[in-house]
Amino acid sequence: MDSRNTFSEELEQLFDRLNRQFGDVSRSWEPVTPFGRWSAAIDGAAVDLLERDEEFEARVDLPGFERDDVEVRVTDHVLRIEAERDAPAEEPDDDGRYLRRERRHDAVHRSIRLPDDVDADGVTAAMKNGVLTVTLPKLEVERTHTIEVE
């Protein structure tokens, strides 16, 4: 993957740091993002995030990308998805020439803040028909702990 960040990804990282500074207060609200609903239009990948009792599921539209073009990472309550592909290197046959050539190098970077801890070792990802599905099991957090009195 290319280590260059898009402007919007750098802003999202800044806002992620701000969200971490506010700690648990921000967990009950939708996290602050620099572009909100415009983020998908800027970065080119629409994301749906579902919550179930025991897991989160992210569905990301990545049309034209292959499984090997995609990198998925989870760190500090943030799901990061990067996809990158090069333009086809094919040349026209001997008696043809391109009048228009729009297929090009393409890169998508998305960062999605997760509301709870996830079991990073249990995360799975699958690509089908241009849609990446990432399943993120919630981390079991013991809410009540009984302490024996001596």
Give tens-digit pLDDT for 6-47. 776 777 777 777 766 665 444 444 444 444 444 444 456 899
Per-residue pLDDT for 56 more than 50?
yes
Q: How far is CA 88 from CA 34, 70, 98, in A?
A: 33, 17, 13
Count other Cβ atoms within 10 Å, centred on residue 144: 4
pLDDT on residue 47? 94
Q: CB–CB of 32/132 below 8 Å?
A: no
- For 138, half-sphere exposure in the C-beta direction (CA atoms, 13 angstrom radius) is 13
The pLDDT tens digits of the residues spanning 106-141 come to: 889 999 999 888 999 999 999 999 999 999 999 887
Q: Using the structure block, give the residue that is written with the tokens 């249990």.
A: 122
Q: Alpha-carbon distance 107 to 2, whole Å?
A: 9
Q: If you write DSSP's letter for every residue of 13-65 in order, what string do you get?
A: HHHHHHHHHHGGGGGGSPPP-SSGGGHHHHHS--EEEEE-SSEEEEEEE-TT-
CATH: 3.40.50.720, 2.30.30.240, 2.60.40.790, 3.40.30.10. Which one for 7-87+98-137? 2.60.40.790
Most confident of 18-22, 49-53, 83-87, 145-149: 49-53
Domain boundaries, the chain: 7-87+98-137
pLDDT on residue 27? 42
Per-residue pLDDT for 87 more than 90?
no
